[in-house]
Amino acid sequence: MDTGHSSSRVFVSSSITSNWTYSDTNTSLNVEINPFILQDGDPANFVIGLESASIPLSIWTINAGNNTLRLNSYTINIDFGNYNINGLVDYLNAYNDGIFNNTGVFVFSYDSVNNRISVISYDPAFPASITVGSATTCQKILGVVAGTYTTIDPTTTKPIYRATNQVNLTFTTGILIAINNIQTSNRDNQAIGSGGTILNRIPINCPLYRILTFYNPQPFYTTIANRVITNLEIRLLNDDYTPLVLQGNPNYNLCFRIDYLKTSGHQVPPTIIQRARQQQQQIMKPVATFKQGDLSTRAKKALGEQKK
């Protein structure tokens, strides 16, 4: 980009704990850098892109945001971690946290054909129904929906709830890279119009506990409104824009490229009405000149006759 400026890379490592915004997580960083400054009158704008990333996927499918299941008057708090569905069903059937022992109260099963779980209630306090409480946070994971259900299982004659939706043990399908202190020209459905802080999204295309890698030698640049950049407030987010949590805070690395784009000075084309007025002015201009010349000739002729 021929602007009289040179492009730069900014390498970021989460291993610098002094950059952590919070002491207990490394997915929120405030990285101070040598300033990038555009002087007044400089026609260039900053553009920024993500060139590469290496992020260990130490992500828990079941975590603090989705581990609660409320059935009738009981609460099941699922231990954090990654489960397959059969392991999770076994866990729920054997659940005992010292407060609630699920032995013989709720029986969970999984239908692999329909990818849905079912739960039969032997709770004597609710002999004709089973209620999934509104405090349940694992609705998307287990496919359950809060409500009271009165279907009776013909085999056991006990209330049964067959999950409304399918099981989905994928917590997030990608990682959003946001820089909170820059105003980009990108748009997303969390921000009104332009000016969002999301720089890029990296799809998760490898198993958990592997290193997610991303590299684009020709990154997509987004123009930013900032004229001075002295730091980058970096956030790693889940698909739902909540903060990503990497268990154990493993080190990850990001590489940004900052370049310059000269404004083109492009002018907005005239509207139909503006073009019509311009055409009318072009038509009227010679007429007005002719009349002015005509009057001047007559005046000169009259003055000549008077002199005679």
Q: Which two tokens stand for residue 126?
A: 């609710």
Q: Kindly state the average pLDDT of the residues 86-99.
A: 96
- State the pLDDT at residue 67: 96
Q: Which two tokens stand for residue 261?
A: 């784009």
Picking from 37, 109, 105, the residue whose alpha carbon sits closest to that of residue 74 is 105
Distance CA 134, CA 27 (A): 30
Q: pLDDT grade, residue 296 (50/70/90)?
A: low
- The three-class DSSP label of residue 177 is strand
pLDDT of 1 strictly over 50: no
149-152's contacts with Cβ under 8 Å and 24+ in sequence apart are 152/128
- State the pLDDT at residue 308: 53
Q: What share of the chain is helix, strand, coil (3-state, %, to 5)?
A: 15, 35, 45
Predicted TM-score of the model (pTM) = 0.76
pLDDT of 304 strictly over 90: no
- State the pLDDT at residue 290: 47
- State the pLDDT at residue 140: 94
Q: Which of 205-214, 226-235, 272-281 has the lowest mean pLDDT?
A: 272-281
Neighbour count for residue 97 (Cβ, 10 Å)? 12
- The three-class DSSP label of residue 277 is helix
**Between residues 299 and 45, the one the model is more confident about:** 45
Is residue 65 within 8 A of residue 138, CB to CB? The reply is no
pLDDT of 183 strictly over 90: no
Please state the domain extents for the chain: 8-51+173-262, 68-162, 271-308
Neighbour count for residue 302 (Cβ, 10 Å)? 10
CATH of 8-51+173-262, one of 3.40.50.1000, 2.60.120.1100, 3.40.50.300, 2.130.10.10: 2.60.120.1100
Q: Which of 55-59, 171-175, 190-194 has the lowest mean pLDDT?
A: 190-194
Distance CA 163, CA 114 (A): 10
